[in-house]
Amino acid sequence: MNQLPEEKSPEKVEKNLAEFPKKVGIIYSEVKREYFPTEAQYVTEKEAENDAKVVGGYLEKLGINVYYYPGTPNLVVDIDRDKPDMVFNLVGSIHGQEYLSSTVPGILESLDIPYTGAGILGESLSYNKFLVKELLQSHGVPVPHFQLMPTSTMPLEVTMRYPLISKLNEIHGAVEITKDALSDTEKHLRERMKFLISTYKQPVLLEEFIAGREVTAILLEGLNKKVYLAEKVFKVEGDPYQFASFEHQWSEEAHYKKYQDPLLVELVKRAFDVLRMSDYGKFDVRLDQSGRYYFVDSNSNPAFGPRELDCALANILDIYGISFNEILKRLLLNTMRDAVGKQLLPVPGTNGDEEKPETTNVIEQVSS
């Protein structure tokens, strides 16, 4: 007769939940110039390995052994060899294709390795902005009028009013979000779409441009969901036609100031759940001159790193007094907590004596 699963005491469970892993992997994008159709897209990924090592340096200071993995076909072999206790998934593209990043969670699931960030579905959704807009709209999260344009000659829907902004449907990092992205005339719009579709070989998402202010929201999970809001500070204050462009994100130091609104906090939490994000996520929201919110972008795996890497996530949380060390600790504990939770579930035909990953006590790390 099969034995009943061993019941874990509250003390044993609490101890497991208060521990850091000893071995952590960081997966990052393998980047070569020839993978990308333009210099602009290459710029968004070219520092991937260096950024991963900066993050790894912070983990090493917590007494954790760090392993680095480029997102290549050798990933499965390398991870299976080292058997890290968990992995930070920082992959933004594979062979220059951002949507292929959604394969990484699948690989980690198959290897039974806990990891940070969204799962397969959440990552896949993130690389289809049109579908994201459809899902948000159907769940009561406000978005601008939008239309997917597979060709540059497709007729505009009657709801689409100028000015319109053109976005690549499958690429993040504000690639091609420049002054030329904003169109006031059909002639300019058609020329812009023709360039984007022919260069990047993907549809264009058109949105009605929302004149006003811009707020970035970071949601960070721990034992509960916490939302941190910050308004982007532009060089020329009071210009409602300013927006976070490619240059603003990659060539200039970003500036933010605290922003608070309980309504927006609840909308961000709803969007996070609808889009099946996990651990952390980033949302860009426009606030029009009548005080109405419109979600214009979301990212389940935004740029991740400390303030010296000028990442929105770290910059905004720093405004709220949360250091990058604290962000890392939350993610480490959250990921291992979820993994321990899976281990605690009764498995038919077992006695609950499965091997547990090596861990290092958090209290020892904090006190040191």
Summarised one tens digit per residue, pLDDT across range 314-360 is 999 999 999 999 999 999 998 988 877 655 545 444 444 444 444 44
Per-residue pLDDT tens digits for 173-227? 989 999 999 999 999 999 999 999 999 999 999 999 999 999 999 999 977 899 9
Start-end of CATH 3.40.50.20 domains in the chain: 10-117+324-367
Residue type, 109: E
123-176 confidence digits (pLDDT tens): 999 999 999 999 999 999 999 999 999 999 999 999 999 999 999 999 999 899
Dihedral angle of Cα 203, 131, 314, 361, to the nearest 10 degrees:
-130
pLDDT reported for residue 244? 79
Report the pLDDT value the prediction gives residue 174, as an integer from 0 to 100: 87
Q: Which residue spans of the chain are classified as CATH 3.30.470.20?
A: 126-319
The answer to whether 218 and 267 are in contact (CB under 8 A) is no
Across-strand partners of 286?
214, 294
Percent residues over pLDDT 70 in the chain: 85
Which residue carries 């699948």 as its tokens?
106
How high is the pLDDT of residue 224? 85
Does the domain at residues 10-117+324-367 carry the CATH identifier 3.40.50.20? yes
List, in sequence order, every beta strand (DSSP E) within the chain: 19-21, 23-28, 65-70, 86-89, 146-149, 164-168, 182-183, 204-208, 212-221, 225-232, 256-258, 280-288, 293-299, 359-361
- What is 134-161 written as a DSSP string? HHHHHTT-----EEEESSTTPPPPTT--
Please state which CATH class domain 126-319 belongs to.
alpha beta
Q: Is the pLDDT of residue 294 over 80?
A: yes
175, 45 contact by CB (below 8 A): no
Split at pLDDT 50, 70, 90, the class of 4 is very low
Q: Residue 360's beta-bridge partner residues? A: 20
